[in-house]
Every structure is written in structure tokens, then in C-alpha cells.
Amino acid sequence: MAIDPSADRPVYKQLADLIRARIEGGELRPGQRLPAESDYVAEFGISRDSVRRAMAMLRGEGLIVTELRGSRVREAGEAATVEIAPGTQVTARMPTEPERRQIGVAEGVPVLVITDPSGETRLLAADRTIVKAGDEG
Amino acid sequence: MAIDPSADRPVYKQLADLIRARIEGGELRPGQRLPAESDYVAEFGISRDSVRRAMAMLRGEGLIVTELRGSRVREAGEAATVEIAPGTQVTARMPTEPERRQIGVAEGVPVLVITDPSGETRLLAADRTIVKAGDEG
DNA sequence: ACGTATTTGTACGTATGTATC
DNA sequence: AGATACATACGTACAAATACG
């Protein structure tokens, strides 16, 4: 699998596809370190800009996390189950950056917005929470 | 409010903060067109790169959508309510790009993963769906 | 304790492509 | 056709955090 700069699909998306396939195919396992940006630059002869765009894309999809020392495949992590009463509403959205820091959630992770029948809302990190509908409060 | 290149917080984050505050403060209303990238370049004397990073950040937060003609504040849109039976589990995550296209959901919008007691799952766009726990199937 | 190497973060520049008005 | 505006993609440079010897 290689990258074709003359293809219709942008270089950075091709690289993201390639890495995504390696993650979903199990070639890159949860917790495993990804090659450095410079490795991809050297391997495919593309610019660092393109590599960084690809990484940003995968980060946005929640597939990888990036720290100063490199990126790694996100680990699923055990999610706690929260039971909710009938009439409770649930939706999700991306947190703003201040919220993200406050809740202590990584980039690329949505928050669950849980509104109970009284109108009170809770914000929970979607990667640490599974909401289960119960038959009573 | 201005941007201080010598501040600790990066220029692009300062700009994102500024635009986010304008959105949350109602100065920029849902559906309203944002100034062009070049306007921000001129207004604050920063590079287009920094402006684009700020926009990407806000896009990732689901606050704005960007098209070829410019960016605008995302409109909430009427969300349909879906009732779920007791025992049904709900969580959320970001879709991968192929999923995003398949479901027809904009960038920056998470998907709700709904698993009924039999184990079957549904993917729904979180900005168009509110899940409501019912007291029976 | 210190310097060095590695790696990502930020920020500037330039150029070309493409869609819209 | 021309102007506008965003998308992609290359380049460079320096800063900051971490890891290593």
C-alpha cells in the first residue's frame, strides 16, 4: 500500500486511510506507539504537513491520542455503566476546549449530555460511560 | 479583545477563544457567516495558518461548519426523539471518515451508538437525535 | 546535574487547485 | 473572465517537553 500524490484523494487522507486500516486490521494494537511524523515523511516522501493533517484526522476520530513524545492507538478503557430512569434524554456533542479540560477528557472524545425529567443535565465522557435505560429511577 | 503573540497561550487558541466567546455570547448567531480567513489575518496581523488552526479547532468542537464559500455558525437543527426500551445501552464516539460519509453527518458531530438488549446496534447522528428512555419497548 | 537527541507544537512563507460569485 | 475564498501541500524555523547517556 502506498500513497499516490496524483490521485484524486488528498495525500493526507490517503495516509489517514492507511493508518486507520492498520489500526482496524489489528496491525497497530491499542496502546501501541505509532511511528514518528518524521518516519512517515521518510517512508512516503511526503511533507510533514500532510502527516500532521492525517494524524489530526485520526485524533478527531478518536482512534489515536498524541502526546509530546508521540502518538499511540487509543485504548478502549473500561466504561462504567450508568443507569437512567424512564423519561431521561440522552444526546452527545463535542465539548468545547474549556469543557474538555474541565471534564478531563482527551481530544476526539464526545460528551454525553444526560437530561433527567426535571431538566437537570450531566456531562459525561462518552469513552468512559455507557448509559443503560432502566425501568425505574 | 486582542491577540498577544507573546502570551503563553498559542495565537491560534487565543483566536479560537475569541471566536468561541463571540458565538457563545450571541454576537455570532447560528447560521451567520463568519469573516473570511483573510479578514482575521488582516484584523490581528497573524498568519493564515493560525487562523486555519483556530477554525479547525472550532470545527472539531462542532461550533462552526466550513464550506468552500466560508464558515458559518452551526445551527442546532431540530432533533428527532427516539424512544428506547429498558436494558438498551447508549454511548457515543466520533465516526471514522467512511462512516461519516455513509451516515451523512457533518464534521465535528459524534454518533450515538445504541445497543438494544439483543445486541443489535444502531448508529445515529448525535446532532439530529435525542434518545429518550421509555418504560417499555 | 547537564547536555543532547528526539518528537511534537507553533508559526511563518509560498504555490497551486477548485469551487463559487 | 476575473475576484474571492477555502483546500492541499510543499518549504523553513524555532520552542518546548521528554528521554537518554
Cα–Cα distance between A18 and A3 in angstroms, integer? 9
Cα–Cα distance between B22 and A102 in angstroms, integer? 20
Name the residue facing A131 among B63, B90, B135 (closest C-beta).
Answer: B90
- Cβ proximity of A70 and A34 under 8 Å: yes
| DSSP bridge partners of A71 | A66
Residue nearest to nucleotide C21 (CA to C1'): B69
Give the model confidence (pLDDT) of B84-120 as tens digits.
Answer: 999 999 999 999 999 998 888 888 899 999 999 999 9
User: Same domain for B56 and B84?
Assistant: no
pLDDT in tens, chain A (137 residues): 689 988 999 999 999 999 999 999 999 999 999 999 999 999 999 999 999 999 999 999 999 999 988 999 998 777 899 999 999 999 999 999 989 988 988 888 999 999 999 999 999 999 999 999 998 64
Name the residue facing A134 among B86, B94, B127 (closest C-beta).
Answer: B86
Report the distance from CA of residue B45 to the C1' of nucleotide C13 in Å, as an integer: 14
B56 domain-assigned: yes
| DSSP bridge partners of B125 | B111
Cell of A81: 455503566
A4 domain-assigned: no
B6 domain-assigned: no
User: Same domain for B69 and B19?
Assistant: yes
Residue nearest to nucleotide C12 (CA to C1'): B47
To the question of pTM greater than 0.85 for the whole model, the response is yes
Cα–Cα distance between B19 and B74 in angstroms, integer? 13
Query: What is the span of the domain harbouring residue A15?
Result: 11-73
- Cβ proximity of A97 and B21 under 8 Å: no
User: Same domain for A53 and A104?
Assistant: no
A3 domain-assigned: no
Cα–Cα distance between B110 and B24 in angstroms, integer? 20
User: Same domain for A125 and A90?
Assistant: yes
Is the Cβ of B95 closer than 8 Å to some Cβ of chain A? yes
User: Same domain for B94 and B117?
Assistant: yes
Q: Count CB neighbours of A46 within 10 A.
A: 18
Cα–Cα distance between A113 and A42 in angstroms, integer? 43
Is the Cβ of A16 closer than 8 Å to some Cβ of chain B? yes
| DSSP bridge partners of B117 | none
Is the Cβ of B21 closer than 8 Å to some Cβ of chain A? no
Give the model confidence (pLDDT) of B50-84 as tens digits.
Answer: 999 999 999 999 999 998 889 999 987 778 899 99
Q: How many domains does chain B have?
A: 2
User: Same domain for A41 and A57?
Assistant: yes
User: Same domain for A49 and A32?
Assistant: yes
Cα–Cα distance between B16 and B61 in angstroms, integer? 10
**What's the CATH code of the domain at B45?**
1.10.10.10
pLDDT-based confidence at B23, cuts 50/70/90?
Answer: very high
